[in-house]
Structure 1
Amino acid sequence: MELRQLRHFLALVDERSVTRAAKRELIVQSGLSNSLQALERELGTPLYVRGTRPVRLTAAGEALVGPARRTVISAAQAEEAVHHTRDVLIGTLRLGVGLSAQHLVPFASYLGEFTRDHPGIDLRLQYGPALTMISMIGTGEVDCVIGPAVDRVPGIRMTGLAREPLRLVCRADHRLAERSDITIGELADERFVEVPPRWTARLLSDAAFATEGIQRRVVCEVGDWELFLELVGAGVGIGFAPTGLQYPVLTAPDSVLRFVEVEGVRLERHIHLMLPPAGETSPAAARFADHLLRVRSAGG
């Protein structure tokens, strides 16, 4: 049965007249009668007694009134919820955040402004490596991601937000610390501290050595940039790190760490806003993307 048929039936119930019911529903009388007959055929029983004034319902008609009203009300509520979502945003924004994007993109500030503008939105933040976050967009586990990516990803809409170079970091007393013309070939015999394989920085550094056909020794993997720097400072090895990290182990006046330029290799992380295809983007994510890009274009 169709929703319009139930509405026509309830108009008849309320008006107790086919003529008045048709007028209320803004259709001709024959159209309303045909709709009611189609409903009766589908249910296999008469719903009202023809020729009575006012119209009198059959037992089957009386039994249908309650369920019909609940169905029509539920449909109206569903429609209102959709319109409400369009006009006054409600729901949940599930945002994936790359583990080291915070110092480049002030996403907490963006989210604060966004939720003040849309108080009906709840936030669910998930942190993880870049490739993990990207795969979660594809599976629908998150609505959008702010994080790094090495290449364009099929099926993912990507808008650049920031970029940052990676440079070699080592102790000040390391043999390479004062060199100004290091090549990647000179690093072949060094011990390296690295981040996990699915991190963007690791993908970039692995690719740089693979391009030169150089194998290197990774003596330690760690999933935290601050601990990464502390391990380099302790002499465990050298490594490639983003230049914008602001941990005290790197920025303190008495820091033992030094950034070193390596010639012939350009390692740069790009931070993106990543969304699924337009037809699969949630209203909250679409509105957040618009907000973020508007704020950035305004210089916020």
Structure 2
Amino acid sequence: MELRQLRHFLALVEERSVTGAAKRELIVQSGLSNSIQALERELGTPLYVRGTRPVRLTAAGEALVGAARRTLTSAAQAEQAVQQTRDVLIGTLRIGISLSAQHLVPFASYLGEFARDHPGIDLRLQYAPGLTMISMLERGELDCVIGPAVSQVPGVRMTHLAREPMGLVCRSDHRLAQQAEVSLEQLADERFVEVPPGWTGRLLSDAAFAGEGIPRRVVCEVGDWELFLELVSAGVGIGFAPVGLPYRVLTAPDSVLRFISVADVRLERHIYLMLPSVGETSPAAGRFAEELLSIRAAGT
């Protein structure tokens, strides 16, 4: 069994087509098919169902996915460990980031400094909801994450980086806009714009209403904070958002949006640096974490 074969198999799994997998691996389709067929002969069983679109794995193929990912991750870590003995980091660093946290954790500048110090490292950045990125980290699809979480995650090393309150945001002509503070009971009959389930902001707001036994109506879900605020500004509904978001719809002199505090409930998002367990952390991710925390410590 060769690492190349496992890489081709995972490309097929993730691209869900022979054409896409071959394009990703920069080989012809017949070459990728032959590689996977050789792997199947060695294992003595088919790994995917021919003729299905998108590609559908057999039970044996499903069983191989996790082991194949772990094998390739271990091989990459071994290569990087050898290179690190010569004080040269090479390879790829896959980072999950929360774009809306850039004003709290300036990861672009951290990554710029890291890239200059370690030119042998290629960066692959992924933007996704917080829970999705944590799951990708647990599955070995990301090397580290800078993003939100609502609680400690077993098996994941988490270092707190920043916190930010969330407030109720509405138009200046809304009936509650002139109040300094509102209660959840006052919001029971309102129309809400929300981020999708699985986003930490949604988890916090859903938990707050559920804890008080107050139903609410979500009339619009959107997976982008800037568009979220534009929709509230347009009058689609009201919603809960981090108070420091730097988007023009909030910061412009002619902005019609207002933030209001919510009484009797603590809505606050927390941003963490997240890494897998020590034995599963790549040298590149470990070095990046060390340098990021060193920079932040020097700035405090």
TM-score between the two structures when normalised by the length of structure 2: 0.72
Letter in structure 2 aligned against 1:256: V
Alignment of 1:218-257 (within 5 A): 218-257=218-257
Q: Equivalent residue for 1:214?
A: 214
How big is each residue's C-alpha offset from its partner over 1:18-53, in whole Å with a ceiling of 9 and x where there is no partner? Answer: xxxxxxxxxxxxxxxxxxxxxxxxxxxxxxxxxxxx
Q: Is structure 2 residue 83 aligned with structure 1 residue 84?
A: yes
Q: Is structure 2 residue 271 aligned with structure 1 residue 281?
A: no
Alignment coverage as a number of residue pairs: 223
Partners of 2:95 and 2:142 within 8 A in 1: yes
Whole-Å Cα distance in 1 between the matches of residues 260 and 231 of structure 2? Answer: 17
Letter in structure 1 aligned against 2:128: G
Q: Equivalent residue for 1:103?
A: 103
Which aligned runs of 4 or more in structure 1 are off by greater than 6 angstroms?
none
Percent identity of paired positions between Structure 1 and Structure 2: 75
Q: Secondary structure at the match of 2:101?
A: coil
Partners of 2:104 and 2:162 within 8 A in 1: yes
Q: Secondary structure at the match of 2:133?
A: helix
Partners of 1:188 and 1:215 within 8 A in 2: yes
Letter in structure 2 aligned against 1:289: A
Q: Secondary structure at the match of 1:264?
A: coil
Letter in structure 2 aligned against 1:253: P
Unpaired stretches in structure 1, ≥5 consecutive residues: 1-78
Q: Greater shift after overlay, 106-115 or 82-91?
A: 82-91
Partners of 1:98 and 1:133 within 8 A in 2: no
Whole-Å Cα distance in 2 between the matches of residues 80 and 211 of structure 1? Answer: 50
How big is each residue's C-alpha offset from its partner over 1:85-120, in whole Å with a ceiling of 9 and x where there is no partner? Answer: 232111110001124222211101000111111111
How big is each residue's C-alpha offset from its partner over 1:47-90, in whole Å with a ceiling of 9 and x where there is no partner? Answer: xxxxxxxxxxxxxxxxxxxxxxxxxxxxxxxx997432232111
Q: Greater shift after overlay, 174-183 or 106-115?
A: 174-183
Alignment of 1:163-182 (within 5 A): 163-182=163-182
Whole-Å Cα distance in 2 between the matches of residues 299 and 285 of structure 1? Answer: 21
Letter in structure 2 aligned against 1:201: G
Alignment of 1:151-166 (within 5 A): 151-166=151-166
Q: Secondary structure at the match of 1:206?
A: helix
Letter in structure 1 aligned against 2:90: I
CA RMSD of aligned residues (A): 1.6
Unpaired stretches in structure 2, ≥5 consecutive residues: 1-77
How big is each residue's C-alpha offset from its partner over 1:175-203, in whole Å with a ceiling of 9 and x where there is no partner? Answer: 00011241111101000000011111000
Q: Equivalent residue for 1:140?
A: 140
Whole-Å Cα distance in 2 between the matches of residues 230 and 143 of structure 1? Answer: 33
Shift of 1:135: 0.2
